[in-house]
Amino acid sequence: MTDKFTPEQRHRCMSAIHSRNTKPEIIVRKYLFARGFRYRVNVRSLPGTPDIVLKKYRCVIFVNGCFWHGHENCTLYSLPKTNSDFWRKKLARNRERDAVTAARLRGMGWNVVQLWECQLKPKEREKTLAELVATLDYLLKGKPRKKKTYDCDTETFSYAAEPYAEYGE
């Protein structure tokens, strides 16, 4: 199947996609800020330019779009029917780049949390964000924060982040 767009047209369409300050990122940032977390956004000095960096927690958060990062088994991700080979290769490169970036950050001593766009849809949002806060509290190794405004079962927060084993326990 041939692509109906020229490379120049495709570039113009794709350049309209924003990679910063997306709606899912803003949802996460507002939630964290309202609960007393302070962070930096899009830190260029770290590999992959993480969306949110919490230095105190040695934690970076990537808020990934399900399509652009190839979230397998997700309703928001499907391979386009036109120019499928191009998209398959592009999305595979994106997934590979994400894995390499996460490995580099872990090698530098950072904890990496990956949130997906689908986890921030209204039905899943509160659970995902509460589990993110529980993950951050866990990373602080039980030290109490000044402002604690959530009620979450800390045994089940691996939904929003990686399991405990990934953090060295």
Q: What is the pLDDT of residue 81?
A: 84
CA distance 105 to 86: 29
pTM: 0.73
**pLDDT tens-digit map of 111-148:** 999 999 999 999 999 999 999 999 999 888 765 455 44
Confidence of residue 9 (pLDDT cuts 50, 70, 90): low
**How much is the pLDDT for 17?**
54
What per-residue confidence (pLDDT) applies to 12?
53
Q: How far is CA 127 from CA 29, 76, 118, in A?
A: 15, 19, 12
Angle at 150 between CA 38 and CA 127, to 5 degrees: 95
How much is the pLDDT for 23?
93
Q: What is the pLDDT of residue 169?
A: 35
